[in-house]
Amino acid sequence: MAEQKFDLVVIGSGPAGEAAAMSAAKKGMRTAVIEKRPAVGGSCTHKGTIPSKALRHSVKQLMRYNTQPVFRALGEPCRLSFPQVMESVHKVINYQVEMHASFYARNRVELIHGEASFRDANTVEVELHDGAVEVLKADRFVIATGSRPYRPGDVNFDHPRVYDSDTILEMQHTPHSMMIYGAGVIGCEYASIFAALGIKVDLINTRSSLLEFLDDEISDALSYHLRDMGVTVRHLEEYARVLPNDDGVIMEMQSGKRIHADALLWCNGRSGNTSSLGLENVGLEANHRGQLTVDEHYCTGVESIYAVGDVIGWPSLASASYDQGRAVAAAIAGRGHRVIEDAPTGIYTLPEISSVGQTESELTAAKVPYEVGRALFKHTARAQISGERVGMLKILFHIETHEILGIHCFGAEAAEIVHIGQAIMKQPAPNNVIDFFVNTTFNYPTMAEAYRSAALDGLNRVMRL
């Protein structure tokens, strides 16, 4: 049984694990990464962010072809099966794996493929894919094992018509109808993707509105456009029984409804990947969703063991996980720490959504005197040229100081556009004001011009007070 000694061992090679390992290696630590899969990248690369967003991009291109009159000279609108659309996704995954694997070699981080479990607070045992066992000792460990879809015990996920957000990527047919249980970020994204493919979608939401953490106006816009795409949104519904059969899936609701579809996609939460880590051997215990509790340094209740990424819960974003990975490496090296706050949301529905900062409801509840500046995409030349006329940008700012309090964007490239506002919003006073957008020259025509239009709209409202 081979045994090696490291300064730091990272368990998991997703965004958080990779960032922790790369940062630690650059700080002079002898670092190893243990990855359960045969290839690096974690769920982000293989099951989550990358494949779902690559799928969305392909579907969006298909939508553009089918809706733009200029393409009619090439032929009639076309339909593609789900497996056909997925072909482009696999190419992106392969490229991502190749790229990320090169990072480990370049930074001399040892990569070990196998399943890790703790023996004690300074030792892990790794069962390799060939059955051999390696023992790794380290001064510090970082758990970055990510998460997986939550699966309730009374739903038969072995049935060929029942999927979760991992297994849906392996679907080999194109159903006529799809039932999606859970209207969180993943559920809403897939609802828009399947609707764009011409599939009838029932989106079942256990809450009273979609994505309640969003600004109300943005949430309302999403709800409207999903319905406009043909999605049936059902609020305040919870399942009682799921009955799959050869013809499809029937879901009996607690309200007494019976909903039928060709297939079911379960998107109701995620669980941290901690069950096989042997946490009991080091005195750690995950919560009911498999998540670990950490302090401001990302340290668990055991001094030598840290945790970052989805396995610690909110915000469960790849972008935040990268930052957490770098932050934990800095904390371990004794170079300070950074708690990740105010990460922008990026929701890749069709159209997409992104926001940073406070919402109108939060500002109202806090009794902050604010005003709103809006710009509709349909009024910008760039949107008219590209045909992406759906959407809006709204800026929330303090009436007296003009400080930017929130940026909310709905429409094409929203996740890109929001960063312009975020950059100004994060500047120290007095540079974090809405006036910046009025006093800055933007390229024409661009989507960035929406900031000037929204700023003028908001400042005009203040002048009328």
Query: Tens digit of pLDDT for each residue in 194-248?
Result: 999 999 999 999 999 999 999 999 999 999 999 999 999 999 999 999 999 999 9
If you count them, how many residues does the chain have? Answer: 465
CA atoms within 13 A on the CB side of 213: 15
Q: What is the pLDDT of residue 340?
A: 67
Can you tell me the distance from the alpha carbon of 332 to that of 295, in angstroms, rounded to the nearest whole number? 13
Residues of the chain with pLDDT under 50: none
Q: Which of 156, 342, 168, 329 is nearest to 250 (CA)?
A: 156
> For residue range 107-121, what is the model confidence (pLDDT) as tens digits?
999 999 999 999 999
Beta strands in 361-438 (DSSP E): 370-376, 391-398, 404-411
Can you tell me the distance from the alpha carbon of 263 to that of 258, in angstroms, rounded to the nearest whole number? 14
- Domain parsing of the chain, residue ranges: 2-148+271-332, 162-268, 351-463
Same fold, 2-148+271-332 and 351-463: no
Q: Which of 154, 113, 182 is nearest to 168 (CA)?
A: 182
Q: What is the pLDDT of residue 387?
A: 86
pTM: 0.93
Q: What is the pLDDT of residue 1?
A: 57
Can you tell me the distance from the alpha carbon of 314 to that of 309, in angstroms, rounded to the nearest whole number? 8
Q: Strand 370-376 relative to strand 133-143: parallel, antiparallel, unpaired?
A: unpaired
Q: What is the pLDDT of residue 116?
A: 97
> For residue range 88-138, what is the model confidence (pLDDT) as tens digits?
898 999 999 999 999 999 999 999 999 999 999 999 999 998 889 999 999
Are 369 and 380 in contact, with CB atoms under 8 Å apart? no
Beta-bridge partners for 398: 370
Second-level CATH architecture of 162-268: 3-Layer(bba) Sandwich (3.50)
Handedness of CA 178, 353, 357, 292 (dihedral sign): positive
The CATH number for 2-148+271-332, chosen from 3.40.50.300, 1.10.10.60, 3.40.50.970, 3.50.50.60, is 3.50.50.60
Class of domain 351-463: alpha beta
